[in-house]
A = this chain, B = another copy of it.
Amino acid sequence: MLAIIFIVSIAKMPEILPNINKLHFIKTANIIDGKKVAQDIQKELKTQIETWIKQGNRRPCLIAILVGEDPASQTYIEKKMAASREVGIESKTIKLPVTSKESEIIDEIQKLNKDDSVDGILVQLPVPEHVSERHVCNAVDPLKDVDGFHTTNIGKLTLNSDTFIPATALAVLELIKRYNIPTFGKNIVVCGRSKNVGLPITLLLHSDAKNELPGGEATVTLCHRHTPPEELEFFAKHADIIISATGVVNLIKSHMVKRGACIIDVGITRITTKDGKTKLVGDVDFEGVSKVAEYITPVPGGVGPMTVAMLMSNTLKAAQHILKKNSA
């Protein structure tokens, strides 16, 4: 009854409408539209690449190596190839059989390292179990390492020297920036300590803004599989930003989130719903958390497309020899 009166009152008082989204019982989180931002970035990159070519430069070129036939890897590779076409990056996938020896993969990489027409090289992870991911990542010329996984580039990231930042970490940072979400002196919880995602995000967000790679200046708590659930809840509840990259479905629930927080969901898991269909979900209980958070990324359509866009950005950077020039 009260609610009805209230709604009627609102209808009669259009001047209070601009403030309506400050009323907690009506509000749901703003969606961080990664798909849209990724398209914006890809448009920007397309323009930059056309300018680059008009200046007399060769079209940037990205080569992906795919070992085996993992369906998820094939999907990721296709997305990367499609984005390359969209922005005007020449691209090709070299498909190697799952039985390839480590030395054969490394030989292939070394050919690409020497090939001056190739700017960016990536090996789609995971590689088959008999192959060392570390050996393969370190075989890529650090100046063509658009994934940012070479030990030297990871070292540079740790030291905040200019380098290729792993695309997922860069995607998270870019989303936070484009939505003007403050990080300076804020509390950030990162869930997941993987060397390719959680840890690079932590390295970027805690560090000094005055370095070659500007950092987020946030207080970062790095949680992982051995953080007890009640401790994760303790830290999450106090966080201004939660970034979850674990692959644990429903890890972040509404009671763990501070009102007004920003939630970045990097997780991506394929689940089977009651009707037998499959769908992609993240680490966050989107429906519940949306009622508490101020900003939230959806899955799919959040960090995923942004990761591909940031890989394109790294490839243009490789083509422009920005790091090569800096290293000279």
Contacts and interface: CB of A to CB of B under 8 A. Distances in A.
Contacts of A226: 184-185, 217-219
Contact of A193 (B150, B154, B157, B206): B206
A217 B228 CA distance: 11
A224 B206 contact: yes
A302 to B, nearest CB: 25
A158 interface: yes
Contact of A235 (B161, B184, B203, B221): B221
Q: How large is the interface on A (under 10, 10 to 19, 20 to 34, 35 or more residues)?
A: 35 or more
Q: Which 6 A-B pairs have the closest CB atoms?
A: A155-B155, A151-B155, A221-B221, A154-B155, A219-B227, A185-B226
A222 interface: yes
Interface string A126-158: 000000001000000000000000111111111
A77 interface: no
A204 to B, nearest CB: 12
Interface of A: 134, 150-161, 184-185, 187, 193, 195, 199, 202-203, 206-208, 217-224, 226-228, 231-232, 234-235, 238
Contact of A151 (B152, B185, B195, B238): B152
Contact of A159 (B134, B184, B234): B134
A193 B226 CA distance: 23
A255 to B, nearest CB: 19
A100 to B, nearest CB: 23
A207 B219 contact: no
Contact of A158 (B155, B207, B222): B155
A160 to B, nearest CB: 8
Given A151-B155, A159-B195, 14 more contacts: A152-B155, A154-B155, A155-B156, A157-B158, A158-B158, A185-B228, A185-B231, A193-B207, A202-B222, A219-B223, A219-B232, A220-B221, A221-B221, A221-B222
